[in-house]
Amino acid sequence: GFLKKRLKEYGLVTPISTDSEGHFLSHLLSANHKQRVRRDVSLGFQLKNEQLFFNITAFGREFHLRLRPNERLVAPGAMVEWHDERELLKTDCTFIGDITDVPGASVAINNCDGLAGMIRTDSEEYFIEPLEKGTQEHEEHGRVHVVYRRSPELDAPGALDGIVKQVNRTVRKRRHSGDDDYNIEVLLGVDDSVVRFHGKEHVQNYLLTLMNIVNEIYHDDSLGVHINVVLVRMIMLGYAKSISLIERGNPSRSLENVCRWAFVQQKADPEHSEHHDHAIFLTRQGFGPTGMQGYAPVTGMCHPVRSCTLNHEDGFSSAFVVAHETGHVLGMEHDGQGNRCGDETTMGSVMAPLVQAAFHRYHWSMCSGQELKRYINSYDCLLDDPFTHDWPQIPELPGINYSMDEQCRFDFGVGYKICTSFRTFDPCKQLWCSHPDNPYFCKTKKGPPLDGTECAPGKWCYKGHCMWKNANQVKQDGSWGAWTKFGSCSRSCGTGIRFRTRQCNNPVPSNGGQDCSGVNYEYQLCNTDDCPRHFEDFRAQQCQQRNANFEFQNTKHHWLPYEHPDANKRCHLYCQSKETGDVAYMKQLLHDGTRCSYKDPYSICVRGECVKVGCDREIGSNKVEDRCGVCGGDNSHCRTVKGTFTRTPKKAGYLKMFLIPPGARHVIIQEHEASPHILAVKNQATGHYILNGKGEEVKSRSFIDLGVQWEYITEDGVETLSTDGPLHDAVVVLVIPQDNETRSALMYKYIIHEDSVPINNNNVIQEDVYEWALKSWSQCSRPCAGGFQFTKYGCRKKGDNKMVHRSYCDVSKKPKPIRRMCNFQDCAQPQWIAEEWEHCTKTCGSVGYQIRTVRCMQLLHEGTNRSVHSKYCSGVKPESRRPCNRLPCPAQWRTGPWSECSVTCGEGVERRSVTCKIGDQCSGERPEATRPCKPGPCHGKARKSSTACYFLQTLIRSVTTSIPNHSQTHCKINDLHHPLLQA
């Protein structure tokens, strides 16, 4: 078997079942005997959750094993999925324990079929398994096992059939994560090419080790965000499904297939233990051009179809490919492509276009950290805690279980081993491998062996060096150092940002220790006063700086500010060409302190993220301005200015119409009627034309100028210009005449603070002001013994205090409900209350009944009452149903339907059956059984028959009778035929 090939020293033993003192009980070992034999102490089986004891003598030593069920190895209901088949993992024959009188020993045993597993002491390790599988039925007379021995200095085997993995105690993943932790719950899909390469019995432990490395990469403090990679489900695909998903040479289609497959696997219930946030798919098939290692959508995390990656599995170094592709899904771009971090790629940055990271040399670039922080808050699916699963604990140093030969096989294929044609000074610097067929041709992936890989007797690789194994080399969690002083402000006026930072160096995390939790920088607003000169648009300045050096489509442009419609990209610098209207991404973030949106004058961009700032200039504040700019105001100081200005041009050139003052908001300028003239607007202070300057094309558009967003519409000869404002400078409204005959009539309207209304302006309109007012109290939550009620608010018009529809009031300013207690009086004892009986369902017979309503009622104040649960009423509940009119019903005559008339013309007879229902004691007159009928007069030569003859059969109670003396009579009817009548 597997063990025999790996370990040369072995012996044959016959284990026995004993009691706690080591006394012989029986030879029965396997758990399945519990199903076939009586549970008797003499048979050596204890009840569930109790200990088992076995004696084993091997290599001159006797071991008394004390075992207990390993209840933390497999989660309740956990499933293993192979080739689309699911079955429950066995949990009733997995045990862990120790050895009597051997301190520090540990045991992991599976007794589904004999004893199989590992026995570890301080000095040696033993592996035990039955000599022959599947012979449990012969255990009564003793069953031979083989025990192998290896010292810790020898190469450790890989995964041992899922049994050796248990020797390290299993730990339950944290149910509660740190407040600053994000958790990517992963569905790991593995195709048949990976399973066949590693072997079904070893692949699970290999995958756990691989994902552990990915997790450690995301724990590197250079990332700046603490992310846990949590495995919640693992699916091994069969051959047919594997080749259907991967389309060779087509990475885009292959990724699409994998993402669709992962979407189908998703559990609909987000609380399901197997619900995943992200899918990682591993394959050894070639899905792209030579050298392509992975493929993933950017910013797809938490999306039901786009949160997935396709990765080429090629040994443990594939962990960096998985981390790289998952980084794309989290929103990270390649270093040096669209950011300023190209110089970090040669130092092993994870997001380098060509992955150069290795186990001894990797980090996340500054740009990767910034890009992650830009998006991480939008990934809500990463906020919940990891689901509880029991997985084997992976060693802190991943190379402990894998020799250099095994890592060569993972990297280059079957047969590859450590290169022996030349000796390096330190084998931990780079892993060199060769094949026995060509031992002098050595290959490397330019990375070192895994930390923990044995490099010499008593030594292992650590950070690229062969070092003595150190028992004290334990994990050191990191701790924060002191904060620096706040730096300089990003702006001299108009609200800027300043930062202070700290480093995780007190101490630095080492040996797999945890990074510091929390953020490594803080910021605060600074220089919040408005700039003293006329307003300058900070975003516009950044676009203008690109005029000289940014080429778009091989041409330089005059760049204007542009606000991206996607809220997640509003802190990215996008600019619009004045010449062509094209929008271009400048491949950088907006400077700290730039306003996120022209519709929000206070929220600002900080390191690529929009930070909410209230009008009180406090971070996180929800305070907003009213319609005329009063912070937290109620519009009571707002004034609406509205008017119409008409002029007829006398000469060519711009014709001044009117002025709109600074501070105006919600501005609308519109032609009163269709006109050939053209509307124009300019800044009074600078003379800069905002709309339709000389040489500009007249067309509908949305644009940004004077620090606000404008909407210009020209349709059917009527022009309209609007903006929410506020205007930072006064603007002059003009008209460009197209003839000297047509007059120009412009309507304008804006809202402004009462202190800024122009002097001698007679166009001020007093607009209605509305406020929230107390309307009533809600119904009390309890009718007695003290309840609660809350205020109900309605919308009130301030001018006349009349209540109006709530849509007139600002919902954001609605007061919070006030609570008060009510109905303090004691509750009366509920009593049974019965209503009147309803009518009986029958007048006679044996099934009549009548019902009434019976309720448990509680008397309330003012003579009212309420129905409560019947458990609150004492005494026996009055009956709600009783029998009635249970009397014999009198006998009655029953009649059948009338037959057809005995003739088709002339005079005939109709007949029916008459019977007595319920015996033969019917009272009253018997209903008639016959009656005359006349279908109509007879016509033609036929004469009325002098003799009428009828054949009548009457069917009563299934007995056929006939009219006496007529049943066999044949009469001559003189050419008039009569029908046979049946009744």
Return the ∠ at Cα 793 (arms to 791 and 799), rounded to 5°. Answer: 140
Q: Is 328 annotated as a binding residue?
A: yes
Alpha helices in 503-591 (DSSP H): 538-544
User: Which of 971, 949, 951 lies closest to 960 in space, CA to CA?
Assistant: 951
CA distance 230 to 387: 8
Q: Are 442 and 434 in contact (CB under 8 A)?
A: yes
Q: Is 978 annotated as a binding residue?
A: no
Q: Is 277 annotated as a binding residue?
A: yes
Which tokens is 677 given?
Answer: 């003239």
Provide the pairing of β-strand 278-283 with 181-190: parallel
HSE on the CB side for 105, CA within 13 Å? 21
Residue 144 CA: distances (Å) to CA of 13, 44, 67, 135, 501: 6, 18, 20, 10, 66
- For helices 203-218 and 318-329, what crossing angle results, to 10°? 50
CB-based contacts of 864, cutoff 8 Å, min separation 6: none
Query: Is 325 among the residues known to form the active site?
Result: yes
Which tokens is 172 given?
Answer: 């339950």
CB-based contacts of 19, cutoff 8 Å, min separation 6: 25, 53
Q: Are 405 and 418 in contact (CB under 8 A)?
A: yes
DSSP symbol at 376: G
Q: Is 384 annotated as a binding residue?
A: yes
Among positive and negative, which fits the CA dihedral 342, 347, 348, 354?
positive
User: Which of 281, 512, 275 lies closest to 382 in space, CA to CA?
Assistant: 275
Q: Are 111 and 70 in contact (CB under 8 A)?
A: no
Q: Which amino acid is at 591?
A: H
Provide the pairing of β-strand 308-312 with 145-150: unpaired
**H/E segment holding residue 248:** none
Separation of first and last alpha carbons in the chain = 94
CA distance 367 to 86: 43
Q: Point out which residues pair with 683 in neighbouring strands.
A: 731
Q: What is the CA radius of gyration of the chain?
A: 46
User: Which of 492, 516, 491, 489 lies closest to 500 in space, CA to CA?
Assistant: 489
Task: Considering the candidates 325, 333, 454, 563, report the single residue annotated as catalytic.
Answer: 325
What are the backbone dihedrals phi and psi of residue 438, each rounded to the nearest 5 degrees, phi first?
A: -145, 70
User: Which of 687, 685, 700 lies closest to 654 in space, CA to CA?
Assistant: 687
What are the backbone dihedrals phi and psi of residue 211, each rounded to the nearest 5 degrees, phi first?
A: -70, -30
Alpha helices in 724-865 (DSSP H): none
Provide the pairing of β-strand 930-936 with 906-911: antiparallel
Residue 875 falls in which region: left (phi positive, over 0), alpha (psi -120 to 50) or beta: left
Q: Are 665 and 641 in contact (CB under 8 A)?
A: no
Which tokens is 796 given?
Answer: 């009130």
Q: Are 84 and 238 in contact (CB under 8 A)?
A: yes
Q: CB count, 10 Å around CB of 405?
A: 13
| DSSP symbols for 503-525 | -S-TT--BTTPPPPPS-SEEEEE
Binding-site members are 185, 277, 324, 328, 334, 381, 384
Binding-site members for Ca(2+) are 185, 277, 381, 384
Residues assigned a catalytic role: 325
Binding-site members for Zn(2+) are 324, 328, 334
